[in-house]
């Protein structure tokens, strides 16, 4: 490892960036340097701009991926190299506003019936039953399940924040059945590699296979189950602030987008037109 990469890594660690974010940032900065066949410390803002256009038009990366690259180089130049370049020097690609894919309760039941493995079914039910992210689910330890208090401890969620998620009686029963059958030691959902947890990719693949077997024509990921969890809570009358805490959102407007996909809330909200004292329609 070069001294520059070492310092970059240490800067990310000191600022508490998640391990997945650190790996992502290192990957993007390394690819940026390889593209120009030189160390990134010798590149300037125009080089960043041209490479961003390359990612957009030649590599055809998604706006999210391009913006992750921008975040990586912004951190590298502003923090590690201490360049006096402001935020405006790192333009981002505009993201299209898309509503999250949400399953109906009937579709959720159909989906779970087609997850053949007890281990993957328990993990995916945790994504839906507690509203956890993929990475949060696979990283759970056995000791994180607090059956007495009805809580799941989420260690270092997004932004490195700990929080508690709900542990419903139904989910607890599922996890107990799974635990009795497999007796996991450290990680609740261990990998076949000793001392490691299940990978996020493995859970993604299991989710995709179950979606295909169920015949649902929606793109279903573990995050779809999290979206469905939040939407179904909202449709059942749960306060948005409570949902915000359960999901671990730092901003309420992130949670508020679920009001746009909660069909029962939309359909059940009275229109102001109905409150008007309009005269009855005259009969001809």
Residues forming the active site: 133, 158, 223, 226, 249, 258
Closest CA to 211 of 138, 102, 101, 115: 115
Sheet containing 151-154, strands listed edge to edge, beginning at the edge strand earlier in sequence: 145-146, 151-154, 163-166
Tokens of 131: 């509203």
Tokens of 160: 């490195």
Q: Is 108 helix (H, G, I), strand (E, B) or coil?
A: helix
Region for 141 from its dihedrals, namely left if φ exceeds 0, alpha if ψ lies in -120 to 50, beta otherwise:
beta
Assess contact for 204 and 224: CB atoms under 8 A. no
Tokens 């490892």, located at residue: 1
**The 3-state secondary structure of 136-195, one letter per residue:** HHHCCEHHHEECCCCEEEECCCHHHCCEEEECCHHHHHHHHHHHHHHCCCCECCECCCCC
Assess contact for 198 and 187: CB atoms under 8 A. yes
Contacts 24+ apart (CB under 8 A), 207-213: 207/124, 210/111, 210/112, 210/114, 210/115, 210/116, 210/120, 210/124, 211/111, 211/114, 213/114
Torsion of CA 138, 95, 19, 11, to 10 degrees: -170
The CA distance from 138 to 189, in Å, is 6
């Amino acid at each position: 490892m070069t001294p520059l990469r070492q310092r970059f890594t240490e800067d990310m660690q000191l600022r508490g960036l998640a391990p997945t974010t650190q790996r992502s940032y290192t990957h993007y900065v390394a690819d940026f340097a390889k593209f120009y066949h030189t160390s990134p410390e010798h590149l300037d803002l125009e080089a960043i701009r041209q490479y961003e256009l390359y990612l957009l038009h030649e590599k055809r990366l998604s706006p999210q991926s391009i913006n992750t690259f921008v975040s990586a180089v912004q951190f590298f130049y502003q923090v590690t190299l201490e360049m006096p370049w402001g935020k405006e020097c790192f333009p981002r690609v505009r993201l299209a506003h898309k509503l999250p894919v949400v399953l109906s309760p009937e579709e959720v039941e159909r989906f779970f019936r087609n997850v053949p493995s007890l281990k993957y079914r328990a993990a995916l039910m945790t994504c839906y039953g507690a509203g956890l992210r993929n990475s949060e689910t696979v990283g759970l330890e056995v000791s994180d399940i607090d059956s007495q208090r009805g809580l799941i401890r989420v260690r270092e969620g997004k932004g490195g924040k700990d929080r508690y998620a709900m542990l419903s009686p139904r989910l607890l029963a599922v996890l107990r059945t799974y635990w009795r059958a497999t007796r996991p030691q450290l990680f609740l959902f261990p990998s076949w590699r000793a001392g490691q947890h299940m990978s996020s990719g493995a859970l993604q693949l299991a989710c995709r296979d179950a979606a295909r077997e169920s015949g649902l024509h929606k793109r279903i990921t573990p995050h779809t189950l999290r979206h469905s969890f939040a939407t179904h809570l909202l449709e059942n009358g749960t306060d948005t602030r409570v949902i915000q805490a359960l999901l671990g959102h730092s901003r309420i407007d992130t949670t508020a987008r679920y009001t746009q996909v909660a069909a029962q809330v939309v359909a059940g909200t009275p229109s102001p037109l109905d409150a008007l004292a309009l005269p009855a329609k005259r009969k001809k």
